[in-house]
């Protein structure tokens, strides 16, 4: 009888442990010392709204953490560093945040955090999909996170983890298809505008010539399934699908109007020149020669608060997965 009572006590005790022991997502967020928002960057002040919107959403999720930015582009960092000593430029652009003039790359940012004594760090990429640049950033994060020392207290960071791109990454938890669907849900306003115009919605992404870009095709398929009232096409500046694929589809559809936006976090050089420029090879020019009216909107994905929130949510997921091990 005593053994049965003891066994029953153990079963009841174990059954309530899962409800008591794991820390909540909120508790884990509070344990984060710093969040690094890692972007390619932009040299256009008017395109900064996208990065600053992501910053705003990140601060909502991590109110107690230090938020830092890192630009992966050496060229763009150099432009901002040169502007630091340009008094005339600063006077003409008073709304630019001061941190931009000293913006660092990921490794230098990690070093600055170490100097500040930050031990628990989340790095959140603003990449659209898990391509070449994301993998390069992941290599940096993995290298720093993998540094081990004889005494644990001398490790640069107690943990450093990386949040996935907007359209997800390969893996089971969560499946990237769920991320693509979540991203498509944030585009309802674009669909509404295209429908009002009676236009095909065209997105121009960056792409990559040496890396598979099938995520764009899956995003296009999801958009057309989710919003059947408007046809959505996605093309890229580099790689597949390209402008030729977009124009071939437009010929087949026989549309008279196109509403075009950059499928990039910021509306920078590619959006202003490759998409909406006046050069013969600009997307707008090429499509207009097909006798199609083109309306361009120079707003990056990050300017959409719902899209920006995806990155903040992915940063929270990265903390929860890491600290939940």
Q: Which domains does the chain have, with CATH numbers?
A: 19-177+305-323 (3.40.50.1400), 187-299 (3.40.50.1400)
Q: What is the rounded average pLDDT of the residues 226-234?
A: 98
Residue 38, helix vs strand vs coil: strand
- pLDDT exceeds 50 at position 18: no
Average pLDDT, stretch 31-47?
A: 95
**Helical segments of the chain, H only:** 2-20, 25-30, 48-61, 74-83, 87-92, 106-115, 132-145, 176-185, 188-197, 214-226, 243-253, 269, 283-288, 305-323
Mean pLDDT of 162-170: 95
Q: What pTM was computed for the model?
A: 0.89
Q: Residue 199, SS3?
A: coil
Is 69 annotated to bind a ligand? Reply is no
User: Does 298 score more than 90 pLDDT?
Assistant: yes
What confidence tier does 25 reach under pLDDT thresholds 50, 70, 90? Answer: low
The answer to whether residue 9 scores a pLDDT higher than 80 is no
In the prediction, which pLDDT does 233 show?
A: 98
Residue 238 assigned ligand-binding role: yes
User: Model confidence over 245-292: pLDDT tens digits?
Assistant: 999 999 999 999 999 999 999 999 999 999 999 999 999 999 999 999
Which residues contact residue 305 at a Cβ distance below 8 angstroms, ignoring those fewer than 6 apart? Answer: 53, 56, 57
206 is a catalytic site residue = yes
Q: Which of 271, 272, 265 is nearest to 300 (CA)?
A: 265
Instruction: Indicate whether 19 pLDDT > 60.
Output: no
Active-site residue identified among 69, 127, 206, 314: 206
| pLDDT of res. 14 | 41
Tell me: cis bond preceding 69? Omega within 30 of 0 counts: no
Q: Is the distance from CB of 314 to CB of 164 less than 8 angstroms?
A: yes
């Amino acid at each position: 009888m005593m053994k049965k009572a003891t066994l029953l006590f153990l079963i009841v005790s174990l059954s309530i442990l899962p409800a008591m022991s794991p820390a909540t997502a909120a508790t884990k967020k509070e344990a984060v010392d710093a969040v690094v928002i890692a972007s390619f960057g932009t040299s256009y002040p008017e395109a900064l709204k996208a990065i600053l919107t992501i910053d705003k959403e990140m601060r909502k999720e991590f109110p107690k953490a230090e938020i830092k930015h890192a630009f992966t582009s050496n060229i763009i960092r150099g432009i901002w560093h040169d502007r630091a000593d340009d008094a005339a430029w600063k006077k003409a652009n008073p709304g630019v945040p001061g941190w931009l003039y000293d913006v660092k790359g990921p490794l230098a940012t990690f070093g600055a955090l170490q100097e500040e004594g930050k031990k628990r760090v989340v790095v959140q990429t603003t990449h659209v999909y898990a391509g070449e640049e994301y993998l390069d950033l992941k290599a940096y994060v993995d290298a720093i996170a993998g540094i081990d020392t004889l005494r644990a207290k001398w490790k640069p960071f107690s943990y450093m983890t990386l949040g996935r791109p907007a359209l997800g990454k390969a893996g089971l938890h969560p499946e990237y298809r769920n991320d693509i669907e979540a991203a498509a849900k944030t585009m309802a306003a674009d669909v509404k505008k295209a429908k009002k115009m009676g236009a095909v919605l065209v997105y121009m992404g960056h792409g990559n010539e040496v890396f598979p870009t099938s995520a764009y095709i899956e995003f296009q398929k999801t958009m057309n399934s989710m919003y059947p009232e408007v046809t959505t096409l996605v093309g890229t500046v580099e790689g597949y699908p390209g402008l030729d694929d977009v124009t071939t589809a437009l010929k087949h559809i026989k549309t008279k109007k196109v509403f075009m936006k950059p499928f990039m976090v910021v509306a920078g050089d590619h959006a202003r020149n490759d998409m909406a420029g006046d050069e013969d090879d600009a997307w707008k020019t090429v499509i207009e020669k097909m006798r199609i009216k083109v309306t361009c909107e120079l707003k990056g994905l990050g300017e959409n608060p719902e899209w920006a929130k995806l990155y903040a949510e992915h940063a929270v997921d990265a903390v929860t997965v890491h600290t939940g091990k």
